[in-house]
Amino acid sequence: MFAKLLKTLFGILLIPFAIGVGKAFYAQISNISILSGSLHIFERGILVYLLFHVIVMRPVFLYVLGHESVHVIATWLCGGKVVSFDVSPSGGNVVTSKTNFFIELSPYFIPLYTLILGLVYMFMKMGGNSIPYMGIIFTFFVGVTLAFHFAMTAEVLKIKQPDIVRSGLIFSGIIIFIGNLMITMAVFTPLFASVSFLQFLKSSWNISAETYVFSYHKILEIIRSSGII
């Protein structure tokens, strides 16, 4: 309970940083030309998945498999061991030797299939094994996989998730928000020439610092006007 309270307080303290990341993300997205061919291809990928999601089916098993796999990878990265791994169309469960907020929340902000796609593209490009229209195909399926990640994550977050409950709604929401924007920007950087991940990080830092200073002065002003000090 005490740990959850600390996470909630930390989540509140991260709100100005989340604002900075959000504003920096919007600024970078605004740099993408509406006439960009890559943007149109990316949007078509998103549209194709959303139509499939709404009209044909929701690929629940594929999402659960990716979700639980990210739990496993996060556990290994944190030095833990996987005790059991169970996946089915009705849900999944992973039992690990340790847990922390990264292990619990990472599936909600790491689009596994998009990252796998990016790695395949990178290795093919580095190895000189390019195929006709490889960049176009890659951009299209990045749109598909990101739309899949966001649509399915939005659906599962409607249900009370144990991972979210353990870390608290405020802390989890802030981490998921920041993580998704960070990962999405990392994916966008090789797709669009006008997007810079380094500039995104710098802008996030600068805007966050300004927001913290602004918040501090506002809180101080409220305290003084109330006569507390």
- What are the tens digits of pLDDT across the range 203-214? 999 999 999 999
Residue 35 has pLDDT above 60, yes or no: no
Which positions ≥6 away from 168 have C-beta within 8 Å? 4, 5, 7, 8, 11
Q: Are 84 and 95 in contact (CB under 8 A)?
A: yes
* Average pLDDT for the chain: 86
Mean pLDDT (whole number) for 13-39: 84
Give the highest mean pLDDT range of 3-7, 31-35, 37-41, 100-104.
Answer: 100-104
pTM for the whole structure: 0.83
Mean pLDDT (whole number) for 87-101: 84
Mean pLDDT (whole number) for 175-201: 89
High-pLDDT (> 70) share of the chain, %:
94
Helices and strands per DSSP (H, E), number in the chain: 10, 2
What kind and span of H or E run contains 82?
strand 82-88
Residue 111 has pLDDT above 70, yes or no: yes
SS3 84: strand
Mean pLDDT (whole number) for 11-40: 84
Q: What share of the chain is helix, strand, coil (3-state, %, to 5)?
A: 75, 5, 20
**pLDDT for residue 228:** 62
Q: CB 2: neighbour CB atoms within 10 A?
A: 6
Q: Are 223 and 229 in contact (CB under 8 A)?
A: yes
**pLDDT for residue 47:** 95
Neighbouring-strand partners of residue 92? 87
- The type of residue at 85 is F
